[in-house]
Amino acid sequence: MASRVVCMRGLASAKQLLSSTRSIRTTGAFFNTSSIHRKSFNVQDSEDFTERVIKSEIPTVVDFHATWCGPCKILGPRLEKVIGAKEGKVQLAKVDIDENTDLAMEYGVSAVPTVIAMKKGAKVDEFVGVQEEVELKSFVERLM
């Protein structure tokens, strides 16, 4: 169990490094990892959630997930694709329930993936489980 926590913390640190505003050169190509160009972010704690989701002027889709959850690994890329197509009009907040159990309990998350739509600090819609891309597009459109 302790090794799992260490591994999860290690992944969080790697994600933090990748969200820096630098380019990484790999096999001759440059990849920009700047958060300016990203439509999603990982929530670090309750304070971060309040600042970046609750107080946000931009509608936010909140993806409550877990690293061990197979369906979450399917849904995550689909959400990122749909949110990315909205060109900054909607943002995606990712909440790892193992690292942020207080947020998961506060929002009544009993299964993952759970996705909540937030607008002006209020929950306006939600679903549980994997959805097809067409359903995700409809979910995001209703939020806008």
Catalytic residues, which ones? 69, 72
Angle, nearest 10°, between helix axes 133-143 and 70-84? 50
Are the C-beta atoms of residues 42 and 15 closer than 8 Å to each other?
yes
Helices and strands counted in the chain (H then E)? 5, 7
In 3-96, beta strands by DSSP E: 23-26, 29-32, 40-42, 60-65, 91-96
Cα–Cα distance measured from residue 12 to residue 81, given in angstroms and rounded to the nearest whole number: 22
